[in-house]
Amino acid sequence: MRLAGKVAVITGGASGIGRATVLKFVREGAKVVVADLNLEQAEAVVAEVEALGFAGAASASKVDVSEFAQVEATVAHAVEVFGRLDVIFNNAGIAGGKALLDHDPAVDYAPMIRIDQDGVYYGILAAGRQFRDQGTGGVIISTSSIYGEQAAELAFSYSAAKAAVISFTRSAAYELAEYGVRAVAITPGRVATPIIGQFSAELQALFASEQLRGRMTAPEEIADVVAFLASDEANVINGTVVHVDDGYSAYKQRFTLPTF
């Protein structure tokens, strides 16, 4: 088990990529704090972990990642319950979009920045301080997006927040290296999460067609990569962006070639 003895905080751990990563981590031997705004749903994931036979391997913590004090409290909860912290997966986020000139800044900009951008900053800061104080190093993994590296439709605020996550990751890797801390960002493409599941079948089919396998990525496939990145096997992956987008960023559209 590649994560045996490690303790992790996973934000947004109650659903989607977060939930899949919780289950992957405990199967790999880790202890996990399931951190989510929805405490009831986080507790349901803990119960799921228990039912799988991993008694005592998970604990729920309610957190609004847009509030630094709550992120600090979640890190403290991990230390209180499991004795230390080795990994934080800054995964909590929201999505949504609107044409720029139709924006209401209070609705279409501020919440995205507070959660998708500030929430990652707070996780990096709180975990980084804990790693420094422990003197044992640690790993910071943060969820960016393919949109963090390119312009996209109806994604002005979302893309900006996800681009910031990439910048945060590079800077954190540089500044925290002296404490034995690694920082990595992942850029998922179209993942079959509840957020995407609310869209029409037609739109979901379009999303699937944008990836090289012609289907949506399963949350479990992202979790597999995150578990590797959190492990000692990934010690040389630091300060970089790991694309987990099934080739979305490699091409734009398939087309029938003309006769030459």
Give the active site residues: 158
- Cα 145 from Cα 67, distance rounded (Å): 22
| Phi, then psi, of 131 in degrees rounded to 5 | -60, -45
- Cα 131 from Cα 9, distance rounded (Å): 13
The CB-side HSE value for 60 (13 A sphere, CA atoms) comes to 19
- Cα 220 from Cα 141, distance rounded (Å): 16
- Cα 140 from Cα 145, distance rounded (Å): 16
Contact 18, 42 (CB under 8 A): no
Pairing of strands 7-11, 31-36: parallel
The CB-side HSE value for 200 (13 A sphere, CA atoms) comes to 3
Residue 183: closest CA among 142, 154, 234, 135 = 142
Which residues is 34 bridged to in the sheet?
A: 10, 60
Burial of 81 (0-12, 13-18, 19+ CB in 10 A): middle
- Cα 31 from Cα 29, distance rounded (Å): 7
